[in-house]
């Protein structure tokens, strides 16, 4: 990636990241002599001061060694601490998810850290908070990173990608399907996932299946809705637009309100597909407020395989890719891109798992032995070659 003079990232930081990627990818072998300062100035069109600042930062991190009167050399071995990758996250608040918050985020960090540790890398979580993304990306901390993992509960727009590109730091977007050839990303197939959940409900005899999707700015609902529509088409059923609703923040409250509207309609659904497990929490509450029981009177399925879904009563049928898997795969891909083992932009699609539980299959005798012993094994997605 060339130097971007219009970027908010200082030139020396961009140059340092470029040099570091050359070293980690093996373009500059251990103990090899690096180009002279004059040659680097000419190649990248920057001043000698800029080159020296970049080299000083690399030397401080152990990637190179400078010998007075002889030149600059690539270090004989990888620095002891290895690269540092940031995990940029934002929107994981009570306003977004409600009382439960995003319980799976810790699993994602754990998965990323485990993948990083295998390559002597460190993971540094960083919250965007209330600051705008450009301000966050322009901080010295981000500019000094080797790579970025990006997990934001918002639509990843072209403007977002341009800001990430401007850092000059390799990055992987987690849990968002991006256009092929645009940027690195790791995600699960939500189209087939949404179709599988809906097919399950239709196969149980539910001809009116409600669908509750979250706020549009989150950016994950379109594929799940497409899967819902495909399942209806495969069953030769028309999608009733009155059964599809978009809920607002916080999502557990939004699920409560949205489910209430569906259940109070003249022709209510007998099953509800909640666009994520947080929405399902509100669906349970709405069903009980009307004197009914989730699973027994109205089937409910969620999405996301969040840890708390197993402790809901009745246990929630849900589909998704565990957050640990997403974090682990994203960190592996990022380190592969940095080291030149994967060509960017790269996409990795992870299989989901479908766990059928009591919220859609109400049979108390089947479940009385205890939660885990009596659940059917998870169904795994089979992705095309």
Q: Which of 10-24, 57-71, 371-385 has the lowest mean pLDDT?
A: 371-385
- The total of other beta-carbon atoms located within 10 Å of residue 69's CB is 4
pLDDT recorded at residue 377: 46
**Contact partners, residue 354, CB within 8 Å, separation at least 6:** 193, 196, 197, 200, 318, 319, 378, 379, 380, 381
pLDDT of 372 strictly over 60: no
pLDDT recorded at residue 348: 97
pLDDT digits (tens, 9 = 90+) for 62-120: 889 988 888 899 988 766 567 889 999 886 555 555 555 556 788 999 999 999 999 88
**Any idea what the Cα angle at residue 179 is, between residues 174 and 184, rounded to 5°?**
40
* Tokens at 272, concatenated: 């509800």
* Tokens at 148, concatenated: 């970025």
pLDDT of 353 strictly over 90: yes
CB 173 within 8 A of CB 346: no
**Residues 76-103: b if buried by 16+ CB within 10 A, e if exposed:** eebbeebbbbbbbbbbbbeebbbebebb
Architecture label for domain 11-72: Orthogonal Bundle (1.10)
pLDDT recorded at residue 370: 46
pTM here is 0.79
Tell me the domain boundaries of the chain. Answer: 11-72, 84-188+323-351, 190-321+354-380
Among 65-79, 298-312, 368-382, name the most confident range.
Answer: 298-312
For the 190-321+354-380 domain, the top CATH level (class) is alpha beta
**Contact partners, residue 242, CB within 8 Å, separation at least 6:** 265, 267
Among candidate residues 22, 349, 325, 17, the one with its CA nearest the CA of residue 170: 17
One fold for 11-72 and 190-321+354-380: no
Phi, psi (degrees; rounded to nearest 5) at 125: -65, 140
pLDDT recorded at residue 2: 67
| CATH number, domain 84-188+323-351 | 3.40.50.2300
Q: What is the DSSP letter of 249?
A: S
Averaged pLDDT, 302-329:
95
CB 175 within 8 A of CB 326: yes
């Amino acid at each position: 990636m060339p130097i971007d003079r219009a970027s908010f990232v200082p030139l020396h930081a961009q140059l340092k990241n470029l040099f570091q990627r050359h070293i980690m990818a093996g373009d500059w072998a251990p103990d090899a002599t690096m180009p002279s300062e004059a040659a680097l100035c000419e190649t990248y069109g920057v001043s000698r001061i800029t080159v020296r600042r970049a080299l000083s930062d690399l030397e401080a991190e152990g990637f190179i060694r400078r010998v007075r009167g002889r030149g600059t050399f690539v270090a004989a071995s990888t620095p002891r601490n290895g690269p540092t990758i940031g995990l940029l996250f934002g929107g994981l608040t009570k306003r977004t998810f409600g009382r439960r918050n995003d319980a799976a985020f810790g699993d994602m960090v754990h998965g990323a850290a485990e993948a990083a540790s295998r390559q002597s890398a460190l993971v540094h979580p960083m919250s965007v908070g209330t600051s705008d993304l450009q301000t966050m990306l322009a901080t010295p901390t981000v500019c000094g990173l080797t790579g970025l993992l990006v997990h934001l509960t918002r639509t990843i727009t072209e403007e977002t990608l341009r800001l990430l590109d401007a850092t000059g730091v390799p990055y992987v977007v987690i849990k968002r399907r991006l256009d092929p050839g645009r940027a690195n990303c790791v995600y699960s197939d939500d189209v087939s996932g949404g179709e599988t959940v809906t097919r399950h409900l239709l196969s149980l005899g539910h001809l009116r299946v409600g669908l509750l999707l979250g706020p549009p700015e989150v950016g994950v609902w379109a594929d799940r809705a497409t899967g819902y529509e495909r399942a209806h088409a495969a069953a030769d059923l028309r999608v009733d637009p009155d059964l599809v609703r978009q809920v607002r923040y916080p999502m557990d409250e939004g699920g409560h309100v949205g489910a209430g509207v569906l259940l109070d309609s003249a022709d209510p659904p007998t099953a509800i597909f909640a666009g994520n497990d947080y929405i399902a929490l509100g669906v349970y509450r709405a069903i009980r407020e009307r004197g009914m029981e989730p699973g027994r009177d109205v089937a409910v399925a969620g999405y996301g395989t969040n840890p708390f879904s197993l402790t809901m009563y009745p246990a929630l049928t849900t589909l998704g890719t565990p957050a640990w898997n997403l974090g682990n795969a994203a960190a592996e891909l990022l380190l592969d891109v940095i080291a030149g083992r994967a060509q960017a932009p790269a996409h990795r699609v992870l299989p989901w798992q479908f766990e059928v539980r009591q919220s859609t299959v109400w049979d108390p005798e089947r479940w009385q032995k205890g939660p885990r012993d009596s659940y059917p094994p998870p169904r795994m997605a089979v992705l095309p070659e």
